[in-house]
Amino acid sequence: MPLPPFLKNLFKKRIGSTEINPDEIFIDSSNLPDFDVNQFEGRIEKPIQKKTLLYVAIFFLIIGVLYVSKVSFLQINQGQAYQTKSLNNTLRHTSIFAERGVIYDRNEKLLAWNAPNPTGDDFAIRHYATAEGFAHVLGYVKYPSKDSSGFYYNTAYQGMDGVEKFYDNVLAGTNGMKIVETDATGKVQSENVTEPPVQGGNLTLSIDSDLQEKLYGSIKALADSVGFGGGAGALMNIKTGEILALTSYPQYSPDLMSNGGDSATIKKLLTDPNTPFLDRFVDGLYTPGSIVKPYLALGALTEGVITPEKQILSTGSISLPNIYDPTKSTVFKDWQPQGWVDMRHAIAMSSDVYFYEIGGGYQDQKGLGISNIDKYMKIFGFGSKVQSPFLAGKSGTIPTPDWKKLNFNGEDWTIGDTYHTAIGQYGFQVSPMQMLVGYGTIANNGIVPTPTILKGDGTDLTSTWPSVPINKDYFTVVKEGMHLGAQIGTAKAMNFPELDIAAKTGTAELGSLKVYVNSWAVGFFPYSDPKYAFVVLMEHGPKTNLIGAPYVAREFLQWMAINHKEYL
């Protein structure tokens, strides 16, 4: 029997070779017919040839040389350029400026608002009402600031005066934050907001902008025409404490101060002897003159010094022996002879002699004395700040023996000092705001209003306010005297048919030569059921001038009667 072909081949290979190949042993049974060695399962691979390894090594060597060459080129030839680009192509945190809150008057008219910045800065600029008379109430702001590299070192608006300063925490809002990527030229590549800004809160003031503008205009016109150095005025609702108008002349421009560009004009304002940055109504202190007399009357009635009906004769002056030379007399003059006057007529006609006597005593008429004058003036808030954070102002001065010793090299107090203090002269200093609260207290029968510059809900708050310990009947006497004063007395310039008013005037002489005066007009209306108190001050005008604060008050109140009847 012949051998199969594969055995013949096997024997032939055995004859020519002594080696046995693995494929000759492990023969895939499924591959027997054709004996294709490339089809074997589990075939054992041969080693990679050295030539192949050499080719691979040369390939990777070339790649490495190219890589090292490129890195060396970039590092050595262009390293500085890429380093600069890396430094300048940065990520930085930048503020997103919150818009400041808007300020309205009581009728929702804009008084301060925001507008896009024409210089391209990221923050809005502040605009203020163009009408005059609002500077000291509103104030102004200082804007965020950049350094020479264009980076903000101050990222907040800063309120610098008035409402802008006092209510800055309400108006300011909270800045947001964003991440900004810039390239080597400073060009913004991308932005990502991480914290959105929160807009500031809005404020609605109690001020009526129409009343404010008119009152300022009247004060300014009189000051400019007759030579007063300045003036101030206000109107308050004595049931809610809301200030409807409050202004001071002269003033500055809030827009000018915020923008800060016109340095020459700003410097001129800062050095102006008429002090346009002084809020005369709140922070000014002035000799009051006769407007303190109603408080002396209330003290005298409470202490039993005099009755309302008792009359005192004013022949034009009283005399006392001179303390330094008893053979001579010291004369204390009245502004004019008054004849016999009771308390109501003494208030109406502003009799100096009457208040000399009930203040310091004279012959058989007992006087309050300086201690009681000090006591009752303090009861009405003089000598201390007004109880209102925004409107607190200065404390002022009530002359006393201790005050005189301190300010006049230890000099003793005299009865003449008491006389002068009783008519609001000597070292007496009050603010118009103190007077507004004081006359509001008289109008309220002893309930002390708390003034506010913010609009409320119009609720009568008198039940929550403090009161002074004085009999209501005594307030009635004083109010009757002030009403009489507007009808036949020194305040009759403020009397007109459309308004039933109670008022008091004062002319305070200034300096040793007494050639300048402060002119005052104070009061409340309507007389039968008072709702509003007002004060007007004209500062440092010539004594020869016969037109003062009562003229301004009348012009303002008559204008109100025609244009704003809702207040009357």
pLDDT tens, residue by residue, 389-412: 999 999 999 999 999 999 999 999
* Span 50-77, average pLDDT: 74
User: By C-alpha distance, which of 124, 119, 126 is closest to 159?
Assistant: 126
pLDDT tens per residue across span 335-372? 999 999 999 999 999 999 999 999 999 999 999 999 99
CATH class of 209-258+276-567: alpha beta
Please say whether the beta carbons of 518 and 535 come within 8 A. no
* pLDDT value of residue 63: 83
Please report which confidence band the pLDDT of residue 133 belongs to, taking 50, 70 and 90 as the band edges.
Answer: very high
Could you tell me how many helices (H) and strands (E) the chain has, helices first? 20, 20
Beta strand segments in 76-229, E: 90-96, 103-104, 110-115, 125-128, 141-142, 145-146, 152-154, 158-159, 176-182, 188-195, 203-204
Amino acid at residue number 190 = S
Please say whether the beta carbons of 505 and 290 come within 8 A. yes
- Distance CA(267)–CA(363), nearest Å, equals 58
Where exactly are the structural domains of the chain? 24-77, 91-147+161-204, 209-258+276-567
* pLDDT value of residue 66: 79
pLDDT tens per residue across span 438-494? 999 999 999 999 999 999 989 999 999 999 999 999 999 999 999 999 999 999 999
* Span 106-119, average pLDDT: 94
pLDDT surpassing 60 at residue 6: no
pLDDT surpassing 60 at residue 10: no
* Span 269-280, average pLDDT: 94
pLDDT tens per residue across span 80-98? 665 655 555 677 778 888 9
Instruction: Check: pTM over 0.85? Answer yes or no.
Output: no
**What residues pair up with 249 in beta bridges, in sequence order?**
231
Domain boundaries 91-147+161-204, corresponding CATH code: 3.90.1310.10
* pLDDT value of residue 93: 75
pLDDT surpassing 80 at residue 2: no
pLDDT tens per residue across span 414-433? 999 999 999 999 999 999 99
How do the residues of the chain divide into helix, strand and coil, expressed in percent and rounded to 5?
A: 40, 20, 40
Higher pLDDT, 379 or 41: 379
Please report which confidence band the pLDDT of residue 77 belongs to, taking 50, 70 and 90 as the band edges.
Answer: low
How big is the chain by its Cα radius of gyration, in Å? 46
pLDDT surpassing 70 at residue 276: yes
Task: Please give the torsion angle defined by the CA atoms of residues 146, 150, 153 and 154, in that order, rounded to the nearest 10 degrees.
Answer: 40
* pLDDT value of residue 410: 95
Q: Which helix (H) or strand (E) holds 205?
A: none
With pLDDT > 90 as the criterion, what percentage of the chain qualifies? 70
Question: HSE of 292 in the Cβ direction (CA atoms, 13 Å)?
Answer: 36
Higher pLDDT, 294 or 23: 294
Least confident span in 476-485, 505-514, 522-531: 505-514
Please say whether the beta carbons of 370 and 418 come within 8 A. yes
* pLDDT value of residue 219: 98
Beta strand segments in 260-407, E: 312-314, 317-321, 329-333, 339-341
